Chain A
């Protein structure tokens, strides 16, 4: 099954190697890994998606926690969460067939962020299935897609969730975290119909 881990790691050289090395040692392939700054100074937040047996989740999380630079690890498992991915798609487009793409982008609630006489770049954020949906349509014309760049998944639990680890670090005392969320996009919705 697919496992999704969200971790806070110290923002130091070599930390990502340690995370990646662990998965190599466990012989588990990483499907996607996104890393960036978090709300906490000095801590990066990563979302890691990998394929492993259902029982492996416990050991992966426990092993991640054994890495000195890892501060918190959340195994999202079946918890309600928002997952998004960003894709940049460069598409061959001439002035003649551009308008068709404009329509498509509209339907998928994507954006065009670069436009030249031969190509344009579509920026699209959404759940994986939605991005796949757009790509599927674009692939109907062979050779139209020139480049694809995908961020990998980013995941955040819904609602006011605070791990015991972060709580122990004093989180949630000073910051106010809005309970609930006003997410409109639902994971299950067919992508093009949103």
Chain B
């Protein structure tokens, strides 16, 4: 699997042009686009396509819910950089995809979803299992197609791939009617090639802008690079690093940017934003120049806009012109592919001495470290932070971690230090619970040789736990860590801080996850103390197949620091305890 990627494999059998059924054209086109794995679920309106599948070198992974097919395609795409493919039937099959499509949309992930639809003769008549899925998905796709002529299949699908992967990537849906799958047409892969991709006409990187950016960098005293998902999408890791090193600029990362700059690098500040490290957020607030690289100033990283980085000039390097000046007004906009822009910018940037600013930041790191839970003596309680820290240590960071959404997601981001791109797969923009398990399946197909870990909460895991069966059916080696705190923890935390501890609808009764795994034929074990963590992680890693670890962690622990929604970036809630007044905050007041 995954050998020819989306590099377009020309299938000798289909050259010269041949008459095929629509169903055959579907698979032949996918194969031609380099697809070797699809994630799907059959039903009446897509049955002709399934009937033709056996003639093509494509592996179909049977999911347990179509939402998960989209998440798998998404995980596959995030891990590989290639286009992931999900397939579903009409009506409920199609609507089940929607959450997965929206998840991919918000995080700019290239996936193509194929749905069957009722025959063109009855389109629009509320026929059995008919829904207007192109209408439903219009705002959550980059584009979608309704194809009801066999002749149009190959072109629509090829066009869908082009749209999904070009510019700012995203999901595309192709809805194909049943009769068009059954009809036939001449298949000519080459002739179905879409016209050359047209970059967004408002991309603009002017010489003067580059000069201005270089000038701002030269004169900055307290610059910070903000690196986002675009670093990965554009493949600009080296260029970001070169800029940081040459001009001695520290790098803060968004959640989706983690891995885009090595965590161990002396210039790495770690994650910014709502649950970012205090020193990163303080550095941003104190900064006199922000260089935003492939990030979109999401509200989770800015806090209240009216108080965001008021002392800083801003350079925004971004591929989507609609993101420029959307949330934060910038001084220099370089609207283009990040990697290319940085390559053009780098020759203009010369070495500068950043030591004073770096020293200031370094000093504040030391202060924060004493608050860190992992530096506290072992109280006998198991904390998720310990689990993440140990998981990172034991895997040597050499794993792909796929997280769900909630507290455990933030602890992973804080305590698992990502060195390489595409080693943290997580739903950032939509924050979709239930993402981790199915996305990890997609990841495993994209990189079978990698150590793949699911890190999920007890709540989110139950949203898509049925995919355990898919793991077994596909014989996948995936390690699963459930951070079991008996609560919808992140919501409980909000209730603790902002709703007077009114824990309404957040305590959670769960099945015995080890028994649940066992019912699927997946071994597992429950872990209660920190002393057991290392051994359990190693046991999971060395198990021949999938393995589930059920970590019973401290129930009412919260993620710190936290910026309450609507507060400024420096107004953090800090871990309560015996620290007294935070010296960092005192120094920031000066």
> A62-B321, A63-B322, A68-B142 given as contacts; is B201 within 8 A of A17 (CB)?
no
Give the contacts of B305-337 with A (CB-CB under 8 A): 320-322, 324-326
Does B236 touch A at the CB level, under 8 Å? Answer: no
Listed stretches A35-43, A53-61, A99-107, A149-157; interface member = A53-61
- Measured between beta carbons, the chain B residues less than 8 angstroms from A25 are 139
Minimum Cβ distance to chain B for residue A50 (Å): 16
Closest to B167 in A: A66
- Measured between beta carbons, the chain A residues less than 8 angstroms from B324 are 58, 62
> A65-B200, A68-B163 given as contacts; is B322 within 8 A of A18 (CB)?
no
Does B347 touch A at the CB level, under 8 Å? Answer: no
- Measured between beta carbons, the chain A residues less than 8 angstroms from B200 are 62, 65-66
| Cross-chain pair count, CB within 8 angstroms | 38
Minimum Cβ distance to chain A for residue B40 (Å): 24
Interface residue total, chain A, C-beta cutoff 8 A: 18
Give the contacts of A118-146 with B (CB-CB under 8 A): none
Q: How far is the CA of A160 from the CA of B320 in the complex (A)?
A: 30
B321 touches A65 (CB 8 A): yes
Task: Kindly identify which residue among B143, B202, B320, B326 contacts A61, using a CB–CB cutoff of 8 Å.
Answer: B202
Interface centre among B135, B138, B143, B322, by most chain A C-beta atoms within 10 angstroms, is B322
- Measured between beta carbons, the chain A residues less than 8 angstroms from B142 are 66, 68
- Measured between beta carbons, the chain A residues less than 8 angstroms from B212 are none
Q: How far is the CA of A23 from the CA of B202 in the complex (A)?
A: 19
Task: Kindly identify which residue among B138, B146, B163, B202 contacts A18, using a CB–CB cutoff of 8 Å.
Answer: B138
Task: Kindly identify which residue among B139, B146, B201, B321 contacts A21, using a CB–CB cutoff of 8 Å.
Answer: B139
> A65-B201, A66-B200 given as contacts; is B325 within 8 A of A59 (CB)?
yes
Does B182 touch A at the CB level, under 8 Å? Answer: no
Q: How far is the CA of A27 from the CA of B338 in the complex (A)?
A: 30
Give the contacts of B177-219 with A (CB-CB under 8 A): 200-202
Does B134 touch A at the CB level, under 8 Å? Answer: yes
Minimum Cβ distance to chain A for residue B166 (Å): 11
Does A189 touch B at the CB level, under 8 Å? Answer: no
Does A113 touch B at the CB level, under 8 Å? Answer: no
- Measured between beta carbons, the chain A residues less than 8 angstroms from B320 are 62, 66
Task: Kindly identify which residue among B134, B201, B321 contacts A165, using a CB–CB cutoff of 8 Å.
Answer: B201
Does A14 touch B at the CB level, under 8 Å? Answer: yes
Closest to B202 in A: A62
A17 touches B322 (CB 8 A): no
B325 touches A17 (CB 8 A): no
- Measured between beta carbons, the chain A residues less than 8 angstroms from B322 are 59, 62-63, 66
Minimum Cβ distance to chain B for residue A171 (Å): 14
Closest to A63 in B: B322
Minimum Cβ distance to chain B for residue A188 (Å): 31
Interface flags, A6-39, vs B, CB<8A=1, else 0: 0000000010011001000100000000000000
Minimum Cβ distance to chain A for residue B326 (Å): 6
- Measured between beta carbons, the chain A residues less than 8 angstroms from B202 are 61-62, 65
Closest 6 CB pairs of A and B: A62-B322, A62-B321, A68-B143, A63-B322, A165-B201, A62-B202
Could you give 11 example pairs across A and B, Cβ below 8 Å?
A: A17-B138, A25-B139, A59-B325, A59-B326, A62-B200, A62-B324, A65-B201, A66-B200, A68-B142, A68-B143, A72-B201
Q: Which residues of B contact A (CB under 8 A)?
A: 134-135, 138-139, 142-143, 146, 163, 200-202, 320-322, 324-326
